[in-house]
Structure 1
Amino acid sequence: MSTTDHRELESAIPEHLRKPGLCPFRSSAEPPPYPTYVARFSKDINQVVMCYLGIQLRPEGNRKALKAAAISVEELVSLASGPLYVDQAKGVDGDEYETHIFALFWDSVMAYQHWCASDLVQGWWESNQREEDGVGYFKEVFMPKIDFFETHYATPEFQSLGNLADAMSGEIKEHAYWGAMRHRIPAAQYDSLASVGLPSVVSKHDNAKRKLVVPHDYMCLIRSGQNWENADQTEIALYQKVILPSLVQGMGYLSEQGLEIGCYSNRFVTLLCEDGYIARQSYGLSYWSGLDALEKWASSHQTHLKIFAAAQEYMSKLGSEARLTTYHEVAVMAADEQYFEYINCHPSTGLLQLA
């Protein structure tokens, strides 16, 4: 028997969030076939903030205005009260609009609110110029409590939200079986996480250029990322041949037809380096009617099963030599832990397509 059969496994749920008699566990005596990890957050963190601040430009739009908007956002996020971690990404949506997204992360709601309420940030966001410069803006904010989200990493390296954590776990046991995602969410020990209601779109202060989306309880977010920065050219070629086609197909389905299975919005974007050049990283960002809809797609829909099969083929060829790393972060939130505002955006942007 190999030494990996005796490796120590941790629960994805940290000890201080476990509920006696309720904490999920693997029913199989067999260990997972490969290691994965989760981020360990300080016990002092009760809630986190993920703010996706985006700007978009129509195909024939003024690129100088887009660049000026991006520079303004960069200045705002660099304020002392700004986010603890930031990444930037670009993509082109189904309407051919270029989209530049700033993903901003805080470890407390109060810190985020302090930044939003600052004269510079509030003045810039509320300015009439946002409605008149030919650029679209959106702010999609998620504030899940610590026991209502989970992280999952193929390697013990911080990504995205994980950059707020204190440490990385050892190898975990809740993975490599359908349902593991739910089992990594601490609240699932005592809550069904069933979504309630439907979202609606309204105008802000009767201003047709500013739209708010009123969310419902237990909407679900997933950010699923791919990082091939450390891969050599041979592995990159394999990634582009084996995984990328099915990934692009799956992301395209969610973006164009996802509503029929409960996916309210999906974007597939490429991360940017600090110097603005394209990085060897990407992520899909999806908003769902609830965790159950996401689980059903992941476990049974042909588009995700193709992605899963491609990943298995990829790993079977490279095994421990693979340098591609993947991750995802999933959160479920009450209605008052979400905020969506869109300024001058086209009707299919984010949750506006629900109107």
Structure 2
Amino acid sequence: MCYEKKRVFSLKRPPGHKPKKQRWTVKFHKDVHKVCTLYLGVQYHGRTKNNQARTQAEQYIELLLSNEPYQPTVKETFRMTAGNDIPGSKLWIAHWTDPIRFFAKLKEIDLLRIWLDLGDCSRHEIGLWYEQFTVPLDRLQTNYVRLDYHKPGLAALPMVELPPHDLTEYWGAGRDRLAASAFDEFPLLAHPTTTDTAPRIEQVGHGQRIWGTNYNNMCHIRSGQRWEDCDDEERAAYEGSLQPTLMRGMQYLWDNPEETGSIGLRMGKRVIAGATDEQSVLETSVMGFHRNWADLEKWSSRHPSHLEIFSASMKHNKRFGDDRKFITWQEVAILKEGEAAFEYVNCDLKTGVMRWVELDAQGLVGVKTSKL
């Protein structure tokens, strides 16, 4: 006879709690045990708006991700607008549910070789970076307010179910949605190199290749906002009230990383590449890392900047009711040590996690231009 393993830590959900509004989550196929995610970016440090080196680098990355047989199952593209990156940088977000295919693709992504191949006259204007992680399903949680007409992020993966859930509308719901929270509190273990977000090593960024892995229980979060499908009234309401409130909360995180534990959060606007140009979509994502889950919970449950976002969101939902078309979603991963890896080649020092995680560095001056 089989017995379900007893929880060590209780759910945060209040007894008898029933949410007022339905929410949905991603349920993966029984053969899927991990989700693999790649963030891949191209920065431009030049002064001219339409630089050939940037176009060359972006086209190469697009081709590299699209090449068979290990192309991602889901791929999205963004232009960075704020946060820990250079505004205007292009970002690809890609997902796999097969780790073998994922790591095979990673072997094809040699950032230093790509950077060197840009040529002596172009490479100094370009920065390339990736952040990637593989997370077991019990350390991954998702939450979507709607899925009836647009499926973003992990919800777009094939062969997934999108069932409703009731772990929402109370403080601590995000932790409850992490299956591993039944047996793990995800503590930030005391260690001289990881106890806070103070910079660890002297880094320059430009002219360097910087790389390394994560410490235990680092948190990754992606939150999305889509108002592309809204009518004029709801679109104006979001852009005039809720979006500015969101930006004030994000700015607080960017301005106070030591207090809040914010590590490498970016904000970008989704774009769809055409034959000769890019089309912007009224959809944004905030994505990046956080020192640990407890710090993120503390900010989201107590700080006025997030409570203002929560209040404005409830006001928007009440105004437009079930007819609203505005979508938000959240995806969170709690990463064990070594489950994430980072690499930055000739990037600005504020990029990603460079200032907040102990990483190795290599000077790019004198690196041979032959293929590695």
TM range (shorter): 0.7 to 0.9
Residues 203, 211 of structure 1: 8 Å contact kept? no
TM-score normalised by the chain length of structure 2: 0.83
SS of match in other structure, 1:142:
strand
Give the letter for the 1:122 counterpart: D
SS of match in other structure, 1:40:
coil
1:273 positional shift? 2.1
Which residue is 1:148 aligned to?
Answer: 139
Give the letter for the 1:89 counterpart: F
SS of match in other structure, 1:296:
helix
CA distance in 2, matches of 1:108, 1:201: 34
1:20 positional shift? 4.5
- State whether structure 2 residue 39 is matched by structure 1 residue 52: yes
Residues 221, 288 of structure 2: 8 Å contact kept? yes
CA distance in 1, matches of 2:131, 2:111: 18
Q: Structure 2 matches for 1:1-355, cutoff 5 A?
A: 19-21=5-7, 24=11, 26-58=13-45, 60=47, 63-80=51-68, 81-93=70-82, 97-118=87-108, 121-122=109-110, 125=113, 128-129=116-117, 133=123, 134-156=125-147, 157-164=150-157, 166-196=159-189, 197=191, 198-199=193-194, 209-275=208-274, 276-354=278-356
TM-score normalised by the chain length of structure 1: 0.87
- Give structure 2 stretches of 5+ with no counterpart: 358-372
CA distance in 1, matches of 2:126, 2:226: 30
Aligned pairs, number: 335
CA distance in 2, matches of 1:76, 1:124: 14
SS of match in other structure, 2:338:
helix
Higher relative contact order (CA 8 A, sep 6+): 2
Give the letter for the 1:292 counterpart: A
CA distance in 1, matches of 2:12, 2:311: 25
1:97 positional shift? 4.2
Residues 130, 343 of structure 1: 8 Å contact kept? no
Q: 160-169 vs 238-247, which deviates more?
A: 160-169
SS of match in other structure, 1:260:
helix
How has the CA–CA distance of structure 1 residues 117 and 19 changed in structure 2, closer, same or farther, with 3 Å as cutoff? Answer: same
1:250 positional shift? 1.4
> Percent of counterpart pairs with the same letter?
25
Give the letter for the 1:184 counterpart: R
Q: 262-271 vs 89-98, which deviates more?
A: 89-98
SS of match in other structure, 1:350:
coil
Give the letter for the 1:244 counterpart: Q
SS of match in other structure, 1:269:
strand
Residues 42, 165 of structure 1: 8 Å contact kept? no
Per-residue CA deviation, residues 187-214 of structure 1 (Å, 9 max, x unaligned), is 111111112344576799xx96100144
Residues 87, 103 of structure 1: 8 Å contact kept? yes
CA distance in 2, matches of 1:49, 1:128: 27
1:122 positional shift? 3.3
Structure 1 residue runs of 4 or more that deviate by more than 6 Å after TM superposition = 200-204
Residues 220, 334 of structure 2: 8 Å contact kept? yes
1:28 positional shift? 3.2
- Give structure 1 stretches of 5+ with no counterpart: 1-17
Q: Name the structure with the higher helix share.
A: 1
